[in-house]
Structure 1
Amino acid sequence: MDIPRIFTITESAHRIHNPITPDKLATLGAALRMEAGTRVLDLGCGSGEMLCTWARDHGITGTGIDMCRLFTEQARLRAVELGVADRVAFIHGDAAGYVADEKADVAACVGATWIGGGVAGTIGLLGRSLRPGGIILVGEPFWRKSPPTEDVARGCLANSIADFLLLPDLLASFGRLGCDVVEMVLADQDGWDRYEAAKWLTMRRWLDANPDDELVGEVRDRLTVEPVRYATCTREYLGWGVFALMMR
């Protein structure tokens, strides 16, 4: 079980696999007003930066699940590095359908709502692991401004304009799912730069070190087109945020 290898190449140097920055991640942790011992479940946890830094800064405990073997190993190493390996655990596995044995105070899926077939299904999945009165965290894209054409939407790596909503419409959609929005932390263009542009140096160094790899052609093609695609489309039109929800 693993994700496609192209992602472990392009994001191998990332600690956070979405456009939120370390400062914004710290802001989110503080905004949730978590007390020591708060139990956090993170589905699609990537390299574990959220759980590890929150365990260090707020004394939370938690479990992260991710289907990428490399990212799971990086998460375990990060927990050791920050001295929190006794408070957080990471499982290499499929987060889709995962329900915790012990109810969490915070149940999160920050940037991988495909595990529940979309936002609604993911909220339902997270709710199965949440104690009454707990907080759901969902990371999701939205349109900063509506793309003028379907080609621009595809340039943002969406299938169509209909894939995402404008921010007010996304917030309203949470209400229709029976949730109160109780906090949000939004990525900015600097965060997008750090997420996307950091891949380019990783790809170039990988190409230099692996000239005979079977994925050289695909990685070379990506490095050639990604800077212009990103600056033309994603950076201008696509937003991203983490939204804290409580069931009504």
Structure 2
Amino acid sequence: MDDITGPPRLTRLTFHGPLSEERAADMIGRLAATGPASVLDIGCGWGELMLRLLEAVPGAAGVGIDLNEEDLARGRANAEARGLADRVRFVQASAAEAAGEPSDIVLCLGASHALSDARPPEHTTNALRALRGLVRPGGRVLLGEGFWQRPPAAAELSAMWPDAGAAEMYDLAGLVDLAVDAGFRPGWIETASRDEWERFESAYQADVEEWLAANPDHPAAKETRDRVDRHRDMWLRGYRDIMGLAYLTLVPVER
């Protein structure tokens, strides 16, 4: 019998990005060692990395900002279940509206677009400048940002998102240069592995793929199937092994 509801959403994902448990633990260890009192998570989704950092630093407080209320509700429920509800707020707002005072740790993982209305790649420059103003002296910014692992060919770009262009991202060295120009020193440079990407892309689609297999005649099946097939094609025929994700732990230069 067809399910009368639509497919579940992202329940297989722990983090909303290509991030392994091992890498996340290393990141949290480095950030926690700075002794932060405040954490800001821009484009937080359900804020899993922020919650883990708060668990690692008793007494620290966090604010997560996102526009998706479903993700925010998941974050609030997770915080409540882990005894963190009194130390974290999940706010439905734009980053410009809710960023507030500078924080000791600023997380911006795949969300630089929330800090600038400029078109790529200018939005990355603008976002880095904004992040420099959001972190306190002695703090850290953890930036997750896309980059080209190699120049994409025309056929590869045509398989990606609409209007994808080779100029909209930098290579890794160029991205790090931008961070330095914005007033940071790169304390740690790392990139998502192929295994992390494959786990993320598979988990991103798994709920929907299994729902489609069980509900092929559901009224929403065709639209849903077309959407996930397009996304899978973008990945496998487009950006797989071409677009990378850099995780940069950035240290603000004293002014």
SS at match of 1:96: helix
Deviations 1:20-61, CA, capped at 9 Å, x for gaps: 223222111112343555311011101110111111233342
* Residue 199 (structure 1) shift: 2.5
Single out whichever of 46-55 and 179-188 deviates more from structure 2: 179-188
2:197 alignment partner in structure 1:
192
Q: What TM-score do the two structures reach when normalised by structure 2? A: 0.82
Of 184, 197, 219, which residue of structure 2 is paired with 1:212?
A: 219
Matched pairs, number: 238
Q: Give the distance between the partners of 1:9 and 1:125, measured in 2 at CA.
A: 35
Q: Give the distance between the partners of 1:109 and 1:75, measured in 2 at CA.
A: 16
Deviations 1:124-170, CA, capped at 9 Å, x for gaps: 33333322232222210111122122x31343437201111111121
* Residue 17 (structure 1) shift: 1.3
Is 1:135–1:246's contact at 8 Å kept on the other side of the alignment? Answer: yes
2:22 alignment partner in structure 1:
23
SS at match of 1:56: helix
Runs of 4+ in structure 1 deviating by more than 4 angstroms, as ranges, are none
| 1:29–1:155 CA distance, 2 compared to 1 (3 A) | farther
1:90 alignment partner in structure 2:
90
SS at match of 2:241: helix
Q: Give the distance between the partners of 1:238 and 1:97, measured in 2 at CA.
A: 30
* Residue 13 (structure 1) shift: 4.1
SS at match of 1:217: helix
Report whether the alignment pairs 1:182 with 2:187: yes
Report whether the alignment pairs 1:128 with 2:133: yes
1:111 alignment partner in structure 2:
110
* Residue 90 (structure 1) shift: 1.1
Pairing 1:1-248 to 2, within 5 Å after superposition? 11-36=10-35, 38-59=37-58, 60-101=60-101, 103-117=102-116, 118-149=123-154, 151-157=155-161, 159-207=164-212, 208=214, 211-213=218-220, 216-248=221-253
Is 1:9–1:202's contact at 8 Å kept on the other side of the alignment? Answer: yes
Q: Give the distance between the partners of 1:83 and 1:15, measured in 2 at CA.
A: 18
Write the letter of the residue equivalent to 1:84: L
Write the letter of the residue equivalent to 2:18: P
| 1:155–1:27 CA distance, 2 compared to 1 (3 A) | farther
Is 2:188–2:250's contact at 8 Å kept on the other side of the alignment? Answer: yes
| 1:36–1:84 CA distance, 2 compared to 1 (3 A) | farther
Is 1:144–1:166's contact at 8 Å kept on the other side of the alignment? Answer: yes
Single out whichever of 67-76 and 221-230 deviates more from structure 2: 221-230
* Residue 178 (structure 1) shift: 2.6
| 1:191–1:54 CA distance, 2 compared to 1 (3 A) | same
Q: What TM-score do the two structures reach when normalised by structure 1? A: 0.84
Aligned-residue Cα RMSD (Å) equals 2.5
Unmatched tracts of structure 1, length 5 or more: 1-5
SS at match of 1:236: coil
Write the letter of the residue equivalent to 2:148: W
Is 1:109–1:122's contact at 8 Å kept on the other side of the alignment? Answer: no
